Homo-oligomer: A and B are copies of this chain.
Amino acid sequence: MNSYPTRWTKQMKVVLDIVYDGKSPITADQVYGLARKQMPRISLGTVYRNLNRLVVSGLISESKVGTVQCFYPHPYSNTHLECRVCGRLYSVPFDLSLHQVAKETGLTLDGYELRLKGVCKECASRCI
């Protein structure tokens, strides 16, 4: 499973377009909801299969948020604060130089995801 796609199907195009049109990360279930408007008989399994194949092919990227997989157009990079108390994720304006990291590690990279671990302000103010 999660193999590289060899045939360009209508279902794959619908899924790709939905992820590309979105402004923010989208879940498989949300893609499914939107896809059914254009293609009412598409199945959830097909949505998952195509999302995973698009990730393998490098056209979109994914990341787990809590228990669910989220999908983004293109390879991307981001930084989050992950609160160990409430578990919430906060976007943090911090950028890493992917070029620098690629040079130092000798790897060819598409993007990164930096998860900073700590306690958010709201939880800290409750001084648990």
Contact = CB atoms under 8 A, between A and B. Distances in A.
Nearest to A76: B117
B115 A113 contact: yes
Integer count of this chain's copies in the complex? 2
Interface in A102-116: 104-105, 107-116
A114 B117 contact: no
Contact of A105 (B2, B94, B105): B94
Majority secondary structure of chain A interface residues (helix, strand, loop or mixed): mixed
Interface residues of A, number: 35
A83 to B, nearest CB: 10
Interface in A48-66: 55-56, 58, 61, 63-64
